[in-house]
Amino acid sequence: MAIEHLKSGKPEQQRAEDDAKVRATVETVLKDIETRGDAAIRELSAKFDKYDPPAFRLTPSEIEAAMQKVSTRDMDDIRFAQTQIRRFAEAQRASMVDIEVETLPGVILGHRNIPVQSVGCYVPGGKFPMVASAHMSVLTASVAGVPRIAASAPPVNGAPHPAIVAAMHLGGAHEIYVLGGMQAVGAMALGTETIEPVHMLVGPGNAFVAEAKRQLYGRVGIDLFAGPTETMVIADDTVDAELCATDLLGQAEHGYNSPACLITNSRNLAEATLAQIDRLLAILPTRETAETSWRDYGDIYLCDSYDEMLSLANDLAYEHVQVMTDRDDWFLENMHSYGALFLGPRTNVANGDKVIGTNHTLPTKKAGRYTGGLWVGKFLKTHSYQRVTTDEAAALIGEYGSRLCMLEGFVGHAEQCNVRVRRYGGINVPYGAAAPYREAAE
């Protein structure tokens, strides 16, 4: 039989209409920031966050004062998480090596991995202050060697969030701003009278932040389209419904539009998971958000086979994919479109979100089909170079280059090669002609 959709959320048309409204709002806001700079971001901050400070950038003394409000135990936990994330980021950085190779006698080719020179890291803090996002962006950029790291997060209860500030500072931020949402992303990308524009934007956020990054892409680089969080559970009857329901709701509480889906080949598990979700929603303190998200963006798919489950999972290309089956390694080997995998019942998405060491800024809205998540390599640009060290190599490569340029009709290109064939090879190539073949020249 075909895949059975036991529970579905909003129709795609309604989701598209929601996206269109977000797109129009963001376009207006970005134009305003570009036109009016600091005045615009100040009005937006007052409107959305009720925050209008003398300056949005924190001074060293303000950073120190915020950090003093973080308890010793919380600071220890932040340091522990950053240690795990730094270890993995450093291992990833070590895997990226500069190379230089002699491909022909006298022909040297190479590449260098060069850090982006400035990065703006956005740390969400709307309903929930996302302390971990500071580790994932700021710290990873620091490991990559980015020389200027600006970080911004919205105020919480009218003030900088102490733990977010601590995480940014410990992670290596050079500039810390208390500015949220579209206005933060727009200010860092476009620049204002008091904020120097960056070369790249990174970090997750709500639908408005994700859309702002999309519209700014090209003017600045971005890590990826990291919109409202998505979670998928792939499970069979080797696990129970409570585990599945807990993992679905654990991410649905992020926001009102956070997709969550279960893919299973067990009808009993699917139906039991629906019942467990109802039970857990009755006691979950974040029920208001999670229930709305599950109602409008929750799905359960019943499949006939593991192959069908795999195909559907790859097609949906969700951000977080929790796999709890009797063949987790098979899914690891065969899945190709996702943000991150969480294999087996002993781990979970929250581990990845907060502490285990992998990055939690991951592709959403099927972007996992063409990109992975944020990692140290996103902050590095791989630039190639070439060097020709002998006359013989200059003449040989020049001859081939001349003929291939003329094949395409590029006479000016060909002359770049020809002048070197004449000078270093002693071959009198007529102007605007292709270099002769060696046997003809001889």
Closest CA to 93 of 148, 134, 144, 141: 144
Query: pLDDT for 75-89, tens place per residue?
Result: 999 999 999 999 999
Query: pLDDT for 40-50, tens place per residue?
Result: 999 999 999 99
Tokens 């992303």, located at residue? 185
pLDDT for residue 436 is more than 60: yes
Q: How is residue 140 written in tokens?
A: 């990873």
169 a known binding residue? no
Q: How is residue 388 written in tokens?
A: 């020709």
Closest CA to 339 of 313, 307, 371: 371
| Mean pLDDT confidence for 197-220 | 94
254 a known binding residue? yes
Give the chain's radius of gyration (CA, Å): 27
Residues whose CB falls within 8 Å of the CB of residue 246, separated by 6 or more in sequence, listed in order: 276, 280
Query: pLDDT for 274-283, tens place per residue?
Result: 999 999 999 9
Query: pLDDT for 77-122, tens place per residue?
Result: 999 999 999 999 999 999 999 999 999 999 999 999 999 999 999 9
Closest CA to 350 of 264, 231, 202, 255: 231
336 a known binding residue? no
pLDDT of residue 310: 98
pLDDT of residue 1: 54
pLDDT of residue 2: 77
Edge-first strand order for the sheet with 260-264 is: 4-7, 298-302, 260-264, 231-235, 320-324, 340-343
pLDDT for residue 171 is more than 80: yes
- CATH code linked to domain 26-223+377-382: 3.40.50.1980
pLDDT of residue 101: 98
pLDDT band at 223 (very low <50, low <70, confident <90, very high): very high
374: left (phi over 0), alpha (psi -120 to 50) or beta: beta
What CATH number does domain 228-367 carry, 3.40.50.1980, 3.40.50.300, 3.60.15.10, 1.10.10.10?
3.40.50.1980
Please check whether the two domains, 26-223+377-382 and 228-367, share a CATH topology: yes
pLDDT of residue 236: 98
Q: How is residue 414 written in tokens?
A: 């060909």
The count of other CB atoms within 10 Å of the CB of residue 191 is 15
Which of 135, 161, 169, 320 is catalytic? The answer is 320
251 a known binding residue? yes
pLDDT of residue 442: 47
The fraction of the chain above a pLDDT of 70, given in percent, is 99
pLDDT for residue 227 is more than 80: no
pLDDT for residue 20 is more than 90: no
229 a known binding residue? yes
183 a known binding residue? yes
Which of 175, 230, 291, 319 is catalytic? The answer is 319
Give domain limits for the chain. Answer: 26-223+377-382, 228-367, 390-441
174 a known binding residue? no
pLDDT for residue 51 is more than 60: yes
Annotated catalytic residue 336: no
Annotated catalytic residue 5: no
Query: pLDDT for 238-265, tens place per residue?
Result: 999 999 999 999 999 988 889 999 999 9
Q: How is residue 243 written in tokens?
A: 């585990």
Question: Greatest CA span in the chain, whole angstroms?
Answer: 89
Tokens 């020049």, located at residue? 398
